[in-house]
Structure 1
Amino acid sequence: MKHLLINIAAVGALLLAQPAFSHDFKVGELHIIHPVARAMLPGAQVGGGYLTIDNEGATDDRLVGGTSQRARSVQVHEMKIADGVMSMNELKQGLAVPAKTKTELKPGSYHLMFMNVEKPFQQGEKIKAVLNFEKAGPVEVEFTVVAANGDDKSGDMHDHSNHKMPMDPKK
């Protein structure tokens, strides 16, 4: 009987701890999937953040920015290449997150910019942040820092082999 109670307690603890091992976060009907940031070179003051937002609800929302103790601000940006010229701009009105769709923030497209970072992100560490949505409100997330080239060798427990982040936006 004593061993049965210990086993039940152990299984219960594992089930309760599951969100701590998970790399997904929820706020309302929004599901934030696999937030990662790239390691930064020494002296760099900006870092990129990537994730997928699955809006499972019937209402459109908007990602309007975020905060992190590791950066002065967290902005939503868009990178475009037109006629061979790359441009990157802050989306001051935020990024639309339509209902019943997945919105991907990835290299060469929409992404988050951690601005004025004092201590560059190191591969394997976790960066805590709060993402702000127009309707759903704030959600605490944690970005796993992957290699500067986007390879996920961070020790993350999940298989993210389908989340390659090429340096070349054409890949």
Structure 2
Amino acid sequence: MSVKSLSLAAIAAFSFGVPAFADSHITIQDAYARSGGKAARAGAAFMTIVNHGDEADRLIAVASDAAVRVELHTHKEIGDGVMQMLHVEEGFVVPAQGQHALDRGADHVMFMGLKAPWEQGDVLTVTLTFEKSGDMVIEVPVDQDRKAGAGHGHSGHDH
């Protein structure tokens, strides 16, 4: 294993166990990213955003050098069981003393026009912008093997 791979693996392992903080009210738990493989032009990141504060906050933007465009997305049923992915311009509310999960098949961070293939163990630098708490820079490990719902307390299926 190369020094770079070993360093990235250490950062990824550290990132799984340590929440990130913004203004000491928001924490990010269990963040990970995945793409559709080496030829993928898009990928997504998932995490749980926890608000320890006494008032709601809103995730309003996201940015990363890992892709040409990075947006907040959700899935909406458009009929006959067909799901469509949509950009959520208004962002996601994180309730006071509550949380908001970004999960596969639901709300998530979408990366379009990947600048390089994502390899297992890579680490992406992502800036989350909150309406009240401001910017939070987090390190998100790439985990291509993660099963849907793993680590978020869900039943292990796509929603």
TM-score w.r.t. the length of structure 1 is: 0.74
- Greater CA radius of gyration, 1 or 2? 1
Residue deviations 1:104-127, cap 9 Å, x none? 000011000012112121111111
Deviation at residue 40 of structure 1 after TM alignment: 3.5
- What code does the residue aligned with 2:20 have? F
Unaligned runs of 5+ in 2: 1-12
- What code does the residue aligned with 2:19 have? D
Residue deviations 1:58-94, cap 9 Å, x none? 1111111211111123211001335311111000111
Match of 1:50 among 42, 46, 54: 46
- Contact 1:36-1:51 at 8 Å conserved across structures: yes
Q: CA 1:166/1:86 → structure 2, altered by over 3 Å: closer, same or farther? A: farther
Aligned residues: 143
Deviation at residue 166 of structure 1 after TM alignment: 8.4
Higher RCO (CA-CA < 8 Å; seq separation 6+): 2
| Higher relative strand content | 2
Percent identity over paired residues: 32
Matches within 5 A, 1:1-171: 21=14, 22-28=17-23, 29-81=25-77, 82-147=79-144, 149-151=145-147, 162-163=151-152, 168-170=157-159
Unaligned runs of 5+ in 1: 1-19, 153-160
Q: What's the C-alpha RMSD, in Å, of the aligned pairs?
A: 2.5
Deviation at residue 164 of structure 1 after TM alignment: 7.7
Matches of 1:165 and 1:143 in 2, distance apart? 20
Q: CA 1:166/1:123 → structure 2, altered by over 3 Å: closer, same or farther? A: farther
